[in-house]
Amino acid sequence: MTDSLVLPLNRTCPYAPPPEHIRLQQEPVTRVTLPDGSQAWALSRLEDIRAMLTDPRFSSDRQREGFPLQPPARRTGTPVRQSMIGLDPPEHGEARRAVVGEFTVRRMTALRPRIQQIVDEHVDAMLAGPRPADLVPALALPVPSLVICELLGVPYTDHDFFQSRSANLLNRSIPADERYAAANEIREYMAALIVEKEKQPADDLLSRQLAKGADREDLAGLGFLLLLAGHETTGNMISLGVMTLLERPPALAAMKEDPTVTPEVVEELLRYFTIAEFVTSRVATEDVEIGGALIRAGEGVITLGNAANRDPAAFTDADTFDIRRGARHHIAFGFGPHQCLGQNLARLELQIVFDTLFARIPGLKLATTTDELSFKNDSTVYGLHSLPVTW
């Protein structure tokens, strides 16, 4: 038995990692207990996490024995074929290369007018609707959801279905079999959609991958990953970002005065919240020394990315929200070979939403206090359940 700290802990302050995660920076590579009683290592220093994420002796295979904080599939069901996020070399490189061309800066820039149009339509609807409005269903969730649907070729009319299943899948407080069922439903939905695309190809990512000869099951896995990663994450960053900026008038004023500041604001928001910190966890395949500790083959490593993005060795005055700090070396999108494939898209969506929303509704304000807001403290992806705003 061990009396080591049980991690991960839920956030208690909306703007900060759990204090215990920060305290671990004094003991940056340390043994912890996971909620299922198993043991793992926790890393809380930026340098150590970067070293681990670029070391091929750590595996991303979520179904491998010892992988920490396993998603529900392995615990309750038969193993499923993994999508790129769970693959190691050489399969990972092949899977990523097959689709990376869809996410280049150039491809994303070409999407700008359509994203702008989607944002404008949602702001129009907000302005025409009642006050206060809930920003999450009015703007934060539908914008990235619509964008990823159009890119993939998923009918947006099905959004209630996949948004609710995604939220369940990511909710750590829901029993594993329910989360597994949610994942299966999305997987089956994707498989059926791919059959449709085969019959009736269109100008979308799924059809293009089919035309290139993609394996159907792999493509269903890719579609699942992109649909999930493409809307939950960015949607949460939109609502957290709006909340943060409304509470920090000088930062908001600086951004409104000079739109070239917006990308810096986005980077600082990504660092400050680090909403998907545990997805970069890994399992060692050989004995490896990290930060002076010996991690043995088969042992899991969880990454406290939110704490690492406040590592005093990497960020001066790290707890301060500072849009001028130059935060781009944060690891909110991960690091190394699995670094977020959709980061250019996420950045673009966040920039367009912030620039448009604050310009078009200059009197926007929170319709409640931060104390009353409901945060996704127990979700794999941190965020807000709702954000009442008025103007």
Interface contacts to ligand HEM, rule CB under 6 A? 60, 84-85, 96, 148, 225-226, 229-230, 233-234, 237, 275-276, 279-280, 332-334, 338, 340-342, 345-346
CA-CA distances (angstroms) from residue 160 to 137, 141, 156, 249, 385? 11, 11, 9, 34, 15
The CA distance from 280 to 104, in Å, is: 22
Rounded Cα distance, 76 and 269, in Å: 36
Q: Output the smallest distance, CB 369 to ligand HEM, in A.
A: 25
Minimum gap (Å) between residue 120 Cβ and ligand HEM: 20
Nearest to 61 by CA among 46, 48, 80: 80
Instruction: Supply the minimum distance, in Å, between the C-beta of residue 15 and ligand HEM.
Output: 16
Nearer to ligand HEM by C-beta: 174 or 340? Answer: 340
Scored b (16 or more CB within 10 A) or e, 8-31 reads beebeebebbbebbbebbeebbbe
Contact assessment for residue 38 and residue 283, using Cβ atoms and an 8 Å cutoff: no
Nearer to ligand HEM, 148 or 242 (CB): 148
Residue of minimal CB distance from ligand HEM?
342
If the CB atoms of residues 94 and 124 are measured against ligand HEM, the closer one turns out to be 94
DSSP letter at 312 equals T
In contact, 77 and 180? CB cutoff 8 Å: yes
- Helical pair 159-170 and 176-199, crossing angle rounded to 10 deg: 140
Identity of the residue, 87 or 295, whose beta carbon is nearer to ligand HEM in the bound complex? 87
CB of 227 to ligand HEM, least distance (A): 9
Which one, 71 or 342, has the nearer CB to ligand HEM?
342
Coil, helix or strand at residue 243: helix
Nearest CB to ligand HEM, comparing residues 22 and 381 = 381
Q: How many of the other CB atoms lie within 10 Å of CB of 178?
A: 14
